[in-house]
Amino acid sequence: MKKQKVGIALSLVLAAGTILGACGKSNDNQGKENAKNSFSVAMVTDIGGVDDKSFNQSSWEGLKSFGEENGLKKGKGGYDYLQSKSDADYTTNLNKLAREGFDLVYAIGFLMPAAVEEIAKQQKDSKFAIVDAEVKQPNVASILFKEQEAGFLAGIAAANTTKSNHIGFIGGMEIPVVERFEAGFLAGVKAAKPEVKVDVQYAGAFDKAELGQSIASKMYSSGADVIFHSAGATGVGLFKEANDRKAKDPSKEYWAIGVDRDQADMGPDVVLTSALKRVDIAVKNLATKTKEGNFPGGEVALYGLAEDGVGLAPINAKAANKADTEAAIKEWVEKIKSGAVKVPETRKELKTFSPK
């Protein structure tokens, strides 16, 4: 009888062990599945900062949108950013995010290719992406834009709007990205109204709003009535100057053209339009591909008008020639998309550019 009881007890223990073992396997599988489905992404800003009202902010908006749509929370294990206060922070910030285990780490801006290459070689199991530059490493995806096409449309808008036949361009730093905006802008002006004078000046920085305002003040004082900036946070100074002047003399026109994102919020009475560079869309698209297991390491994604990666924000309703400007822009968009017109990327190409 005792043997029978012992046998029954042993059977129950074994059965319980089998059930617990099965449950353990089920929980293990569930844990693995959760790990498989999880995805985290982060970005490192350049010195302009995440709230530069321009390039970095657009990138963060795209990353934030991706995170929210995928049920991620801000912070480690979800979506996040680190802000760079100086060039020395790039390598440190990229390395920190990679070591924290983010599945994809973005470097935002042309100033970071050396830092990305260095960390990508060290952290070979991590995935990186860089915007506005190309890094030839198998674990780095590069994102570039045809800024010249957006700049061209801004040039058309500026030339159609100016009454003084005098406009300006404020650049941040003299780098290829900004040169493409400049070349395209000047080509657009040339195509629409070749007699217009264009002042071009570089601030030498992307984070000096006071310098941007000083340059804008001189341009407006010399007769320019439309100024386009490609200067990141430095461009905030352009909007301040235009708003200040408009407030003092509402009868005069002081137009400013924004960049990267629609900067209409920087002054409803002074922002004519903005040369759009959809960094938010590009960042979101790449994050989605990577999450789905299609990380394009070693490849370059190029966004232009044909890919809806660049464009022009709506023309201000207060602009005198709004309808004519919109019609002209539509015509040129079609020519560029069809390949009938190739917008110059450099000052050298601009010299031989013919809009016909």
Residue ranges per domain, the chain? Answer: 41-145+281-303, 147-275+321-351
- The owner of tokens 């008008």 is 305
- The owner of tokens 């110059």 is 344
Q: What is the structure's pLDDT at 30? A: 36
pLDDT tens digit sequence for 287-297: 999 999 999 99
Q: What are phi and psi of 298, to 5 degrees?
A: 80, 0
In CATH, what is the architecture of 41-145+281-303?
3-Layer(aba) Sandwich (3.40)
- CB-based contacts of 302: which residues, under 8 Å, 6+ apart? 144, 145, 146, 309
Q: Could you tell me the CA-to-CA distances from 202 to 25, 119, 208 in Å, in that order? A: 63, 31, 11
Interatomic CA distance for residues 254 and 241, integer angstroms = 9
Residue 146 binned pLDDT confidence (cut-offs 50, 70, 90): very high
- The model's pTM is 0.84
Neighbours of 340 (CB within 10 A): 9
CB 157 within 8 A of CB 273: yes
* CATH (residue range 147-275+321-351): 3.40.50.2300
pLDDT tens digit sequence for 93-137: 999 999 999 999 999 988 999 999 999 999 999 999 999 999 999
CB 276 within 8 A of CB 333: no
Whether the predicted pLDDT of 332 surpasses 80? yes
Q: Do the domains at 41-145+281-303 and 147-275+321-351 have one common CATH topology?
A: yes
